[in-house]
Structure 1
Amino acid sequence: MAKLFLLFVIMPIVEIAVLINVGEIIGGWNTVALVILSALVGAHLVRREGLTTMAKAQQKMQEGQMPAEELGAGLLLLIAGVLLVTPGFITDIFGLLLTLPYTRGKLAKFVMQNMHMVGGARGFSGGFEARGFHSGTQHDTRSPFGPKADDIIDGEVVNKTSSITSDTADKTN
């Protein structure tokens, strides 16, 4: 709850204070132009990195591998895009850090390591590996949506068409 309070109440106040201080130094219209310019440059960077990440993900899928790292990078790029388009200099700094491949990779590793510790989550790739989506040889034959291949399902089969045919054959004789 405290983190949401920080995010939605304190952060906009800090952003406004920074915008006012920058506006006093370089002028109001220059500050507005700088915010618009940072949004345009940020959108361009996110688009470029997103296309690169999508191409890498497609290549991995064609090779039969799960593009786990690329999915994580795509999520971080989505967050970066939102931060860069949001007016303000602090959000632009965080958005730029998520856009750059080096810092995005470091942050992705940090997030994935912490996901292992919190609530037993497995991170981006752990969930898929446990369900048989390994590249190369498959260690587990389970389907992600159904029973294992060696599960035995007991049931009865009733052929309705053959009983109708035999009933009509008895009536005609």
Structure 2
Amino acid sequence: MLPLLILLGILLVPALEIFVIIQVGGAIGAWPTAGLLVAETVLGAWLIRREGRRAYGALHDTVRTGVLRDRELGDAALVMAGGILLLFPGFVTDVLGLLLVLPFTRPFVRRGLSSFAVRRMRAAEERAATVFPPPGAGGAGFDPFGRGRGPERVETPPGPVVRGEVVHEDDDTASRA
């Protein structure tokens, strides 16, 4: 599902950007629209520089102290993603980029993405539990050979066993070769 959404986003965002630029150009004119796009790019570059330095400093302090704080890591990632969006020409990506870069909107976006990630992790855990049932839930647990605990434990995996012998070369013959 997510790859399909990414593909649709790659295809639809440029079309949406062109549509919005044409609508804005029709409302205020071509030159003011171009000037507005250039002004957004300059403002975006200034914001990226300011907020990027702040996020990088917080991230650097986090790494220096050795305590990983999810807020600083999330802010650095959001500023970087917002900066990339601000560099694309267009009004839609600029609005999304500003939501990620501005310090007063970033906490809302971070919380929303965090809750989305939690829901995705829970769904993945539920899917994994159907494939690999946890121990004690009527399944074999995560042991790929289905070994249980206690006296019913099987020491060799089920299926054909090929007996063999390991031959080690002497150190003397290996050094002569």
What TM-score comes out, normalization by structure 1 length? 0.63
Instruction: Indicate whether 1:84 and 2:86 are aligned.
Output: yes
Per-residue deviation, 1:116 = 2.2
CA distance, structure 2, for counterparts of residue 59 and residue 5 of structure 1: 37
Larger RCO: Structure 1 or Structure 2 (Cα < 8 Å, ≥ 6 residues apart)? Answer: 1
CA distance, structure 1, for counterparts of residue 62 and residue 74 of structure 2: 14
CA distance, structure 1, for counterparts of residue 69 and residue 42 of structure 2: 29
CA distance, structure 1, for counterparts of residue 66 and residue 84 of structure 2: 31
Q: In structure 2, what is the equivalent of residue 37 of structure 1?
A: 39
Taking only aligned residues, the RMSD between alpha carbons, in angstroms, comes to 2.0
Matched pairs, number: 122
Per-residue deviation, 1:120 = 5.2
Q: Which runs of 5+ in 1 are unaligned?
A: 122-173
Instruction: Indicate whether 1:66 and 2:61 are aligned.
Output: no
Q: Structure 1: which amino acid aligns with 2:52?
A: G
Per-residue deviation, 1:64 = 3.2
**Residues 122-141 of structure 1: pairs in structure 2 closer than 5 A:** none
Structure 2 SS opposite 1:118? helix
- 4+ runs of 1 displaced by more than 4 Å? none
Structure 2 SS opposite 1:101? coil
Preserved contact between residue 61 and residue 67 of structure 1 (Cα < 8 Å) = no
Among 109, 112, 126, the residue aligned to 1:110: 112
Among 3, 6, 12, the residue aligned to 1:4: 6
What TM-score comes out, normalization by structure 2 length? 0.62
Q: Which runs of 5+ in 2 are unaligned?
A: 124-177
Identity over aligned residues, as a percent?
A: 35
Among 87, 94, 97, the residue aligned to 1:95: 97
Q: In structure 1, what is the equivalent of residue 77 of structure 2?
A: 75
Q: In structure 2, what is the equivalent of residue 140 of structure 1?
A: none
